Structure 1
Amino acid sequence: MSASTPISYAQFATWVQDALNHLYDSPRLQDHPLAGLLAERSATRVQRGQTLRRLLINAILSMAPEPGTPAQSPDWRAYRILELHFIEGQTPAQVMRALGLGRTLYFKEKARMVEALTQVLWEQHAERFALDEAQADALPQNGLEELTSIQARVEHLNLGQVLDELCAMMMPLAQAKGCMLVCAPAADLHVRADRVLLRQAIVDVLGHVLEMSDTLSLTLAGFTDARSRGVRISIQPTPAHAALPASALALATQLMRLMGGEVTVQSGEIHLRWPAEDAAAKTLLVIDDNAGLIQLFRRYLTGHAWRVIGAGNLAEALAVAAETTPDAVVLDVMLPGQDGWEALRTLKSHEHTRRAPVIICSVMHQPELAAQLGAAGYLKKPVTQAQLLQALASLA
């Protein structure tokens, strides 16, 4: 069905439910009526399936509660139902055990969240349907701008456990493709990443590789060396062409960037890597209610011996500082409901932050006032990577 053919909401909802239930079944998604509706008209069959999977996963991730919402709140519980069941592939029984839910509440909350997700996708479809042909032709082709609203929840992950779970999940698909999937041990190898985003990045790469008809075996392994650590995907036989085009790795690349990592390709191997954590690395606490700026600074400082942690307000920052004792602080003075200048004075007197130099980062231009109140530097938004590095270098 083409994007220009009107359909009912009831039919659309039925298609969404079916596509969610077959999220990692590539042949099913490639021929799915929802893919024909939401993908670009010029997309190939494979691209339609990839687009549909990406749209569904991004829609689920976009429903995560706002930062600061208590982890035990009903909103988080409802979101986790979608995340665990559809993205991570857990059975209803496993999700109920993980979240401590009874059968009735589980299915009630799941139905409510699927309906909310369907509404999100329906509105996106309605907006696209309303565009004329000229506007439609001007739309971005990859849709990756949707990822800018996603906030990575970075934590220390046991990479071996993540890879073992993914191998078990992807094994049936690999076997159906006539490919042998091997998971090499990665015991005691930890990375700082968002578990859901990392899983999706790996799954997306594996999905693309499995579409290569000449792939006989895949090895999924953790690795570490003097400069980096992460996931290695080895392809046999080594493709005669350049493995995968950059466009095929676009989603994984964006997801890795959200977590401070990168994707690199060499003959027969794809690496999802992070810089090795330097024992001498310093901690930068960024206090800003804009999660996107925190992610931007994390990307700016990848490979520069700085570890970035974020906080959306002063109270959260002080709680984080009590656990990490930051080496430096970047502070936005335009915090919602708070006077950033008072926050600066608090940071300069608090036991866990008083020794850390504070750099003011704001759309305002008040460097003299900042200096008078004890700031060690001033950055005016928008901030470039060079400006941030120069400000941090001046603290040494």
Structure 2
Amino acid sequence: MPTFEEFELSLRHVLIHFRDPAFHPPELLWSVLGYKPHQGVEAIQTAITQTIESLKPASANTASSLRNQRFYELLTCRYIQELTQEETADRLGITPRHVRREQQQAVHMLARLFWEKRPGHAPPSVEVLPDAGPEQETLAWRSQVREELAALQQSAPGSVVEVAAALRGVMKIGQALTSQHGITLQLEPAESGLTVAMHPSVLRQVLITAIEKLAQSMAAGQITLAVERIGNRVRLLITGTPAVTKRPPNSDLIQEILAAHGDSVEAYLEEDQVGFRIELPTVDKATVLVIDDNADLVHFYRRYTTGTRYQIVHLAEGQPVPETISKIDPDIIVLDVMLPDTDGWELLTDLREQLATHPIPIIVCSVIRRAELALSLGASLYLPKPVGRQQFIEALDQVLPLASVKG
């Protein structure tokens, strides 16, 4: 049976994605709030908004009503008005640190309200004071980590990192940590080109944390960083010898980060060796052929895809398309329908009729709002201009799996 703590953690995760129409709330949230997925995410958004509104007291002349007023204002700023923590601090006249502390308490109260009024339970009282014990602090910390990761994903969607480069990048910082313990840090030769879907700074933080945890388990010796390919996965090996601890190392931060990415970590202690085994799926580079005569817009596409798996190849006209496709074998085509030498709709039809190009996913991206026509002519997705970075990367991510059946 789900616990309140599990529900609260789910609610905190949902609030991070509160205004994202593509987000799918977990089953636990639907169950506790008393809705079904077919009612749409709007039902969840409405329920949360109404419950936040219920915190607003008619008057603020008692300690509990003053507290509810603060929580109401904070939750409204953060999740209804979508202000950052810094903007919320300015609005409420408090410090960002105070915002973070009270946000944890406010979300705890919100979760308690939903939990107590779930089907089959008595109506809740908003007078319930939030619990500030160690368990609550852990939940608050996990929520903060997830919020930071979500913010990074929003600011740099689709980020990838070459593993060998990340390993080289942590050596200087890692050596500063290990030298304090009389430990040497060794980097084994790593295969170049192994790339994983993770922001570079996140992977570096995982590696630095692993080195730090191992250094705390050793009195001297050596920590070795190595990487190996196992099929379509990468295994990172951070190993320390000799170990003086009697238990495997532990890092809640590494576990939380990897869980958020759907990846795994194993901490182990084997004889005098202690270490972490981290497995991450590899990602391959993908070539995107953009057919658009707007060079300025293509410049933005290149900026959007910097640091991602996607590589842009540009054509300003439609005539060279067949020859270019035969040369570069693109994984995805992004097509504008207003081209100087070719009608984009006809080009889309031709690409779908040709045996060689039929399997390539095509995104029609245009100011001409004809989504139904684009899809009926064989486009995999329609994307209206103008296009932002996150929207563009998400569109590429959505159709990329279709490219795997090309050959």
Smaller-chain TM-score bracket: 0.3 to 0.5
Highest CA radius of gyration, 1 or 2?
Answer: 2
Provide the TM-score with structure 2 as the length reference: 0.41
